[in-house]
Chains A and B, each alone.
Chain A
Amino acid sequence: MNNTWLLYMAFAAVLVFVGLYCLLSMRNLIKLFIGIEVISKGVSLALVATGFAKKNILVAQALAVTFIVIEVSVVATALAIIINTYRHTKSLDIRKLAKLKG
């Protein structure tokens, strides 16, 4: 496959890495969710770039539209959970949520 695809995938990988770093090192609940958003950007970039490289751009767009719809639902649910957590603990710190130990 051509070099353009590799270029886009390289940048998508960087975005996923940045998102994962955010998840591993940040403490604010909303910041953690921004990490997930960055990962989603990386994945949708990879999706559309693959469609572009395979000359299948319309199918890739249809898939990406569905992916964004799923992302919106997940964001809505997660933010609802965060707001409810804030109402309980009055704080957005993940360390305050350490009651359960996995």
Chain B
Amino acid sequence: MIVEIALLCGLVLLSVAAVLFRDLLKAAICLAVASLLLGIIFFRMKAPYIGAFEISVVAGLITVLFITTIALTKTGGDVRESKAASWIFPLVFVVFLVLDFFVMRGLIGKIPSLEATPEHGTFGDVLWKLRTFDLVGQIGVIFAGVLAVLALFRKRDKDE
């Protein structure tokens, strides 16, 4: 339990760092390490497949995309973020944490729930046989993403 809580706190702190850092590159790296921690949290929840997927895709692929974009958009002067945002943040954060803690404490034992149907088979069975339609959706969203990138980076050979 202690390890879980430590990992979760690390995840939250790294996300806060990713939001507050001025330098975009440092922010992207914080995000990547946060994904790494989330992957480890997934492992400990007996969810190894999603852990591996999270680390390889979010900490890997998405971070690469971010760093490519940062490299392609190096501005002469940085965008000046408002200083007020960084000062107000700790206050609002602590307020939210307190609220969150009390709400969750109040909900202990009060949530009615039904048993879910027990699952059988391996992860492969569940993904390919139970949730087959999701795969059609995945194909659709991948098409959408690929076509979007193709459309947005096309060569304009005749100007409109």
Contacts and interface: CB of A to CB of B under 8 A. Distances in A.
Interface of A: 1, 3, 6-11, 13-15, 17-19, 21-22, 25-28, 30-31, 34-35, 37-38, 41, 44-45, 48-49, 51-52, 54-66, 68-77, 79-84, 86, 90-93
Nearest to B18: A34
Q: Provide the main secondary structure of the chain B interface.
A: helix
A65 to B, nearest CB: 6
Given A92-B75, A92-B79, A30 B100 contact: no
Q: Provide the main secondary structure of the chain A interface.
A: helix
Contacts, number: 215
Interface residues of B, number: 79
A48 B27 contact: no
Contacts of A49: 45
5 contacts: A15-B15, A27-B82, A48-B45, A56-B116, A80-B148
B97 A14 contact: yes
Nearest to B152: A80
B17 to A, nearest CB: 10
A25 B85 contact: yes
Contact of B79 (A19, A72, A93): A93
Contacts of A70: 138, 141
Contacts of A65: 49-50, 53, 127
B149 interface: yes
A95 B78 CA distance: 13
Given A31-B27, A71-B58, A1 B113 contact: yes
A14 to B, nearest CB: 5
Contacts of B89: 21, 25
Please give me the 10 A-B residue pairs with the lowest Cβ-Cβ distance, nearest first.
Answer: A73-B145, A25-B85, A80-B152, A54-B116, A58-B126, A28-B79, A86-B73, A61-B50, A22-B19, A77-B148
B82 to A, nearest CB: 7
